Structure 1
Amino acid sequence: MSFNHPTTVLVIGGGAAGIMAAITAAREGAAATILEKNERIGRKILATGNGRCNLTNTDLHLKHYHGQNPKFAYTALTEFNYQNTIDFFANLGIMPKTETGGKVFPFSGQASSVLDVLRFEMEQRKIIVICQADINKIKKTDNNFYATCKDGRKFQANRLILAAGGKASPNLGSNGSGFSLAQSLGHHIIEPFPALVRLQLAESFLKQVQGFKFEGTAEIIVDNKAKARATGEILFTANGISGPPILQLSRKAGEYLQKQLKVWLKLSLINHLSTEQLEQILLKRWHNQPSQSLAFSFTGFIHKRIIPAMLKAAGIEDINKKVSNLSSKEIKQIASILQDWRFQVTGTDSWSAAQVTAGGVAVNEVNPQTLESKKVKGLYLAGEILDIDGDCGGYNLQWAWSSGYIAGKNAAFV
């Protein structure tokens, strides 16, 4: 490649994957331009990790990635791995801080610092950034790509990287437009659905218990079989349920809902005791205070806001009956519901509440070694637009960095 005639690379999308792709291409000697439909780049980076930017995770096992073929992500995640990410940002000035669960954040605790150093690097590499460039048409003629904005502006390049994101968090600019562009170039789209999102439940008592949180275990049940399990702080909302374990399970729930299957959520409010131990503790409480009402007898044991709903779910009609009048069957029912409370999942919250998109461009149409399209020579795809999504905890940003790096590196050469 001649330095006087560098490869020109257009990157559509100024998110994490697009920025990494442009920086990598420029480091390889290409002349890179980012086209971003928003007023500024990197808006989603600022929102990650609750504004702290969960850069990556120390455990990048493929079990944390999903899609029709999660193994597709292996090459990118191996070639640009956790340590590569740490080194990349350390060289830009970001000191890493590893926290519980292998989550890595900038020591500053500010997502803005990550975007700041990325912007500085782009300036140093003379990367052109054009915002409010909403691309609605791409054409390939001979050895060049032509991208046209809705306002009529046109851009030309030898190589094109499509890193336009998915549909999650449309308030940050993700509206699925990249899927339409990929389709126009001959690619197929695996139907997208929201992931890392709250689940909606069909229960009448939710508004009475919204805001109630507890440390427990949640499982996704389909056809009476457990499909996924997570433990941590779980939170009831006005129309469903949230918290880190629920967000983690939402991908699996959404997958089965897409197939029109009945999905159940199993909650264990008391997950640190065996059923026998739990029954013994309850019996002891009731033996010591036989004249207490059943509802009041749980005071100091579980949160009082959830007591009425829990007892009704256990099949207790009179929640104010004396504990001395409980039958052995009722005792078992109460112990059972505390460890196996089932709710039908009716759906997920909308795209506006989702952190990531599940589904996207079918990965069997993309070369995993280079991320070049198998359908259009010179077209590369990176980030959330592909049918690869990760668990909560830095996995999706790592996929953005890794896929952006691979696409940028390979797009830089004619």
Structure 2
Amino acid sequence: MKPNKTRPIRVAVVGGGAAGLTAAIAARRRGAAVTMLERMNRVGKKILATGNGRCNMSNLDLGINHYHGQNAKFAYAPLGRFDFSRTMEFFEQLGIAWKAEDGGKVFPVSNQASSVLDVMRYEIERLGVEVICEAEVKGISKNDGEFILNLGNGSRFKANRVILTTGGKAAPNLGSNGSGYLLARKMGHQVLEPFPALVQLRLASDFLKQISGIKFDFQAEVLVGERSIARAGGEILFTDYGISGPPILTLSRTVGENLQKGEQVQLKLIIIDYMTRDELADFLIRRLEQQAHKDLPFSFVGFINKRLVPVLLKEAGLRDINKKAGQVTAGERNAILNILQDWRFEVTGTNSWMQAQVTAGGVDVKEIDNKTMESRLVQGLYFAGEILDIDGDCGGYNLQWAWSSGFVAGESAAT
């Protein structure tokens, strides 16, 4: 049954996260009758956890190089249609004052993710969007131009258009359990195998418990064989399972992708990145000479975190780490230098979906029209947000993708 001039288009938004809320607002503003079906007991739970509870809404630099997937350029059109300016105007009209911080990260001035969710919930209520929580969609079929959505409680819901914004698999406790992939597959879409991104890395090492909790400003590189394929720097945190911190989250997408291919992946840490190799060599000679009377571990106090020193010396292969600094041989000094600028770990995996901030992989975008977010396979079916094979770097990029793709899908579905 097709909508006519007296009956508005009926749009069902499946999933009440960032993309779903934006899609619902956009579709309702275009005159559609919108119903949001949310599996959890309330909408927007994942928004509350973003930006450590502050909601990193977007970023001043929305270059396509910050997005990933088998066809990351797919994101060009949605990000261009609902760009940074339009996004900020959208939220300003809802009542959000915003500010930019280091790295171009954009936050609400209130520093509260709850304020972003509050104004979006107010708007969907003001517009008359019907919200049904604890409504899990188990199946979708299409008959004579009309979609039939089968819910877990046995009831059915009908709509002219459907927007799938069910998210990926990251943070399943906040609503994303991967159920949308099953719905997409049943409608004929291909799903590229999802894997966790923006997540901590697990390392093979015998001494992680000794250095757990140590923070340091390192440079980190991802190595496949001897080839460096990604690099990031900043504050890194050792944990009892491996390693964390913003640079590690940034690199985790590359790590996960290569592990999924069956590659052996190493993480290279560059502890001293502010000196060249020759400069560090000269520095070590001078320091060990000046501190010659001290036990070797103590000679590094004031230069390297003292909890880290014994581990570094053992990793450098020194048999007697407690010898006097003045007794260190040229070969041992060279081994210490190597560890300080090329300390390697085998990466055994990433932490689980529960710790991941975002999903990599998802519905293959080659089957979606990026100008409308409509399926190329099923007319009237739209996709937005994390369910798609598009994911962004840490820093507001994933929420911007949710806002942009959700807005385009919502407007397109209502038109």
TM-score, with structure 2 as normaliser: 0.98
Residue 34 of structure 2 is matched in structure 1 by 32
Match of 2:274 among 266, 272, 275: 272
Q: Which amino acid aligns with 2:87?
A: T
Q: Give the C-alpha shift of residue 137 in structure 1.
A: 0.7
For 1:207-226, what aligned pairs fall within 5 Å after superposition? 207-226=209-228
Residue 244 of structure 2 is matched in structure 1 by 242
- Higher deviation after alignment, 220-229 or 276-285: 276-285
Equivalent-residue separation in structure 1 for 2:272 and 2:190 (angstroms): 45
Residue 386 of structure 1 is matched in structure 2 by 388
Residue 110 of structure 1 is matched in structure 2 by 112
Match of 1:251 among 250, 253, 258: 253
Q: Which amino acid aligns with 1:283?
A: I
Equivalent-residue separation in structure 1 for 2:209 and 2:12 (angstroms): 49
3-state secondary structure, aligned to 1:104: strand
Equivalent-residue separation in structure 2 for 1:51 and 1:323 (angstroms): 47
Aligned residues: 413
Identity %: 58
Q: Which amino acid aligns with 2:324?
A: K
Q: Give the C-alpha shift of residue 237 in structure 1.
A: 0.5
3-state secondary structure, aligned to 1:156: strand
Match of 1:372 among 371, 374, 378: 374
List gaps (5 residues or longer) in structure 2. Answer: none
Q: Which amino acid aligns with 2:355?
A: A
Equivalent-residue separation in structure 1 for 2:296 and 2:149 (angstroms): 69
Match of 2:203 among 195, 201, 204: 201
Q: Which amino acid aligns with 1:178?
A: G
Residue 304 of structure 2 is matched in structure 1 by 302
Equivalent-residue separation in structure 2 for 1:385 and 1:151 (angstroms): 24
Q: Which runs of 4+ in 1 moved over 4 A?
A: none
Q: Which amino acid aligns with 2:17?
A: G
Equivalent-residue separation in structure 1 for 2:160 and 2:208 (angstroms): 55
Query: Are the counterparts in 2 of residues 28 and 412 from structure 1 also a CA contact under 8 Å?
Result: yes
- Higher deviation after alignment, 352-361 or 269-278: 269-278
Q: Are residues 1:408 and 2:415 paired?
A: no
Q: Give the C-alpha shift of residue 2 in structure 1.
A: 6.0
Q: Are residues 1:396 and 2:398 paired?
A: yes
Query: Are the counterparts in 2 of residues 76 and 403 from structure 1 also a CA contact under 8 Å?
Result: yes
Q: Give the C-alpha shift of residue 150 in structure 1.
A: 1.1
Q: Are residues 1:350 and 2:375 paired?
A: no
Structure 1 95/3 Cα, relative in aligned 2: closer, same or farther at 3 Å?
farther
Residue 162 of structure 1 is matched in structure 2 by 164
List gaps (5 residues or longer) in structure 1. Answer: none
- Higher deviation after alignment, 294-303 or 49-58: 294-303
3-state secondary structure, aligned to 1:351: coil
Q: Which amino acid aligns with 1:30?
A: A
Equivalent-residue separation in structure 1 for 2:86 and 2:206 (angstroms): 49
Equivalent-residue separation in structure 1 for 2:330 and 2:290 (angstroms): 17
Q: Which amino acid aligns with 2:308?
A: I
Equivalent-residue separation in structure 2 for 1:288 and 1:238 (angstroms): 35
Equivalent-residue separation in structure 2 for 1:145 and 1:345 (angstroms): 45
- Higher deviation after alignment, 270-279 or 108-117: 270-279
Render the CA deviation track for 1:55-80: whole Å, top value 9, x for unaligned.
00010101100010000010001111
Equivalent-residue separation in structure 2 for 1:289 and 1:300 (angstroms): 12
Residue 182 of structure 1 is matched in structure 2 by 184
Render the CA deviation track for 1:130-181: whole Å, top value 9, x for unaligned.
0000111111111111111111111100000000000000111111000000
Q: Which amino acid aligns with 1:393?
A: G
Q: Give the C-alpha shift of residue 96 in structure 1.
A: 0.6
Equivalent-residue separation in structure 2 for 1:87 and 1:104 (angstroms): 13
Query: Are the counterparts in 2 of residues 3 and 29 from structure 1 also a CA contact under 8 Å?
Result: no
